[in-house]
Amino acid sequence: MNRKLIIGTRGSQLALWQANFIQARLAEIGVESELKIIKTQGDIIQHLRLDKLEGKGFFTKELEEELLQGQIDLAVHSHKDLPTINPPGLIIAAVSEREDPAELLIIHKDCVDIKKRLSLKHNASVGTSSNRRKAQLLSLRPDLEFTDLRGNLQTRIQKLRDEQYDAIVLAKAGVARIEMDLSDFHIEEIAPIEIIPAPAQGVLAIQIRENDSELFTVLQAIHDTKVAATIQVERKVLNMFDAGCHAPLGCYCRETNEGKFEAWTSIAKDNEDFPDRLYVHSDTTDGMADRIFSKFQSDRKLPSSVFITRELDESSYLARYLNKHEILIDARSLIRIYPIINKLDSFILKRADWIFFNSKNAIDHFFKLDPLILKKTKLAVLGRGSEDALRKYDRIADFSGDNLGIKTEDIAKEFAKLVDGQTVFIPRAKDSLMSIQQALTANTTVIDMPIYETVLEAEVNKSNADVLIFTSPSNVEAYFRDNLVDPGQKIICIGLSTAKSIEAMGLSYTLPFTPDEIGLAEAIFGLDY
């Protein structure tokens, strides 16, 4: 290309970083360019909530007008800010690789309470103008209070330093790109499968005139086709619901290591509504958005009753989700748990570099032994459920498998790489499958210790619920000792070991992506009736 390109961008530090990043990518392929800073409606109007501004694209409209008028050759946008339909005459010619789409909860250190989920004190004030974030955070922490937050990243951080809020929420991508110093705050990173991000969060979009075929061809050299395929699912979902970038809708699609695809979607009516969540997986992205859209139709039938083999607190995530849909709950454990040791040798714990917990029961029984844990010893958990249980004892996990899914084998492999050559203490249930232990390398010293056992209830009454949720192999054994599944009853299993017990009886089942209450809610919502 023998012309010098003009790149249109907003003037914030983050927008300039994004434009400079694309400018550098163009230079790598021998294309010369310069930047032109353009103010947008969103930059000028700072006194209104974003969802109160008229129309869509208030961070992009002025750039698009300059593009259409030929004043610039391309515009660089944060893709999540773009409406799903381009103005006539404009197209997205290329997208960047994806920065981590996780959210950061940035907490004033005086407001930290690690015993609570997200490490945030009770009734904390959280700054965000995103209805999507508000709805999802309230589903995890209904005590939180929200205040609108506007301005560029530096302004938002300064407002937190000035104690206008107890915490604020920012996209990790923006913070990472401009390398902000947040060392004076407590940071909680929230995985994109826990708080589902905005469609295309973490991706840059390069917009050009539709008739500029020469530039389109040039830009294919910096176009990430894999990212384009996954965000196409997210953006189509956004379009099908006719939702703007400030609607309480989150959608996140990713490609697995096996070359397949999985997507999470969260939709609420407003920022105070308990969101419905869905997890789907597929061999290709074809039809994924349509599948997601069909599941959220208001006339779709949901189960009228659910049975789960453990006690369920009425304030828990799953109980509140079921109550929202007026689904009856039959919650009762079919087993009893007893300790099998009453004292821990302190010398064993002194040797441990890591302690790995594979269940909430293991955590509760371990801490009942009043253990002396050295500062150097790190703690690992299987997933979010265990992570929350650990917080009750004023501890935060140094490793959690929550973002790796329900396959214990996958979590075990990642943990094994992390602890290679170190000493790992594993308190567990008697007769557990020992999947973690089997994955650890020969260089790793394993201290394996059964600390509790399960005993089946003598008699278990049958449930007539539409959905049966089994939380352990022992509960499966206890239930099916005297009972059978009725025609039409559906089964959900927490964990692969539970699923194998159901499979051994020739029964079909659904496996949630994560073995916790969020995963269960997603699985229930995804059932077909």
Q: What are phi and psi of 381, to 5 degrees?
A: -135, 160
Sheet harboring 399-400: ordered strands across?
335-339, 445-456, 423-429, 354-357, 378-381, 399-400
Encoded tokens for 373: 């844990």
Sheet harboring 328-331: ordered strands across?
328-331, 305-308, 467-470, 490-493
Q: Can you spell out the DSSP letters for 369-422?
A: T-----TT-EEEESSHHHHHHHHTTT---SEE-GGG-S-HHHHHHHHHHHTTTS
SS3 335: strand
- Cβ atoms < 10 Å from Cβ of 276: 21
Query: β-strand 103-108 against 167-171: which pairing, if any?
Result: antiparallel
Q: Which of 43, 51, 73, 81 is labelled catalytic? A: 81
Q: Which residues pair with 448 in a beta bridge?
A: 426
C-alpha 513: how far from chain center: 11
- Cβ atoms < 10 Å from Cβ of 190: 20
Burial of 240 (0-12, 13-18, 19+ CB in 10 A): middle
Using the structure block, give the residue that is written with the tokens 């990173």. Answer: 189
Q: Which residues pair with 6 in a beta bridge?
A: 34
Q: How far are the Cα atoms of 62, 278, 365, 432, 473 from residue 336, in angstroms, in the given order? A: 65, 33, 13, 15, 13
Amino acid at 295: K
Cβ-Cβ contacts under 8 Å for 439 (sequence gap 6 or more) = 409, 412, 413, 415, 416
Q: Can you spell out the DSSP letters for 252-264?
A: EEEE-TTS-EEEE
Specify whether 81 is catalytic: yes
Looking at residue 98, what DSSP letter applies?
P
Q: Can you spell out the DSSP letters for 167-184?
A: EEEEEHHHHHHTT---TT
How far apart, in whole angstroms, are the C-alpha atoms of residue 313 and residue 496? 24
Give the active site residues.
81
